[in-house]
Amino acid sequence: MSNLINEIPEGILDGNQNLVVQKVGQAIEEGISAEEILNQAMISAMAEAGTLFEEGEFFVPELLVAARAMQGGMELLKPLLVRDNVKSKGIILAGTVKGDLHDIGKNLVCMMLEGSGFDIIDLGNDVDPETFVETVQEKPVDIVAMSALLTTTMVNMKTTIDALAQAGLRDKVKIMVGGAPVSEDFATKIGADGYATDANQAVRLAQTLLE
């Protein structure tokens, strides 16, 4: 077994994107499959980063640089994973709801989910309900993930869920929500399938929703 499989996670946890890109490139050249690099190096590293975050060894900045380092390697792997027809864990449609321009938390969640083997469609911020609906109509989405940082925009989570229901799409997707003002109680009231307090919990929730 190439030592690169151990060196890639070290680079991710150190937040060294250049090193990760270099080592992933070397691993590909050595003939290590994209699936093995993903499962043995990328996913394991992001799982460890999540554990360190929960244990208080990592904070959001450390988690963010680890996720960015991972993404550098993922850019090399994506074409190979598609070519090899490697099955993803699921397709997640993510966006910050209409009226809300905050996206740091959403971006971190997307990076953590991607590093855990999910395909991500990131709509960005200030996403209106119609865009969520149109994308679910066009793509084989498994989970819709919505974020809000402002209490004034939280209502648009329910508006989006209602729009999906009116379009006959609600039963085709799971819905997870998060963001500083959002709570488990609020998620239940608006009819979401789950709520996560942080990026690591979002990964765990997505895996649970698709089991």
Whether the predicted pLDDT of 2 surpasses 90: no
Superfamily per CATH, domain 91-209: Cobalamin-binding domain (3.40.50.280)
Within 10 Å of residue 20's Cβ, how many Cβ atoms?
A: 30
Alpha helices in 84-128 (DSSP H): 104-115
Q: Report d(CA 42, CA 24) in Å as an integer.
A: 10
Mean pLDDT of 38-54: 93
| Superfamily in which the 4-83 domain is placed by CATH | Methionine synthase domain (1.10.1240.10)
Q: What is the pLDDT of residues 64-96, one digit of tens each?
A: 999 999 999 999 999 999 899 898 999 999 999
Amino acid symbol at 48: E
What residue spans in the chain does CATH classification 1.10.1240.10 cover?
4-83
Asked if residue 72 lies in contact with residue 37, where contact means CB atoms within 8 angstroms, the answer is: no
Q: Is the pLDDT of residue 1 over 60?
A: no
Contacts of 55 (CB under 8 A, 6+ apart): none
Burial class (CB in 10 A: 0-12, 13-18, 19+), 172: middle
- State the pLDDT confidence band at 49, using cuts at 50, 70 and 90: very high
In whole angstroms, give the CA distance from residue 152 to residue 161: 17
What's the pTM?
A: 0.90
Task: Give alpha helix (H) positions in the chain.
Answer: 4-14, 17-29, 34-36, 44-54, 60-83, 104-115, 129-138, 155-166, 184-190, 199-209
Categorize the per-residue pLDDT at 132 as very low, low, confident or very high, splitting at 50, 70 and 90. very high
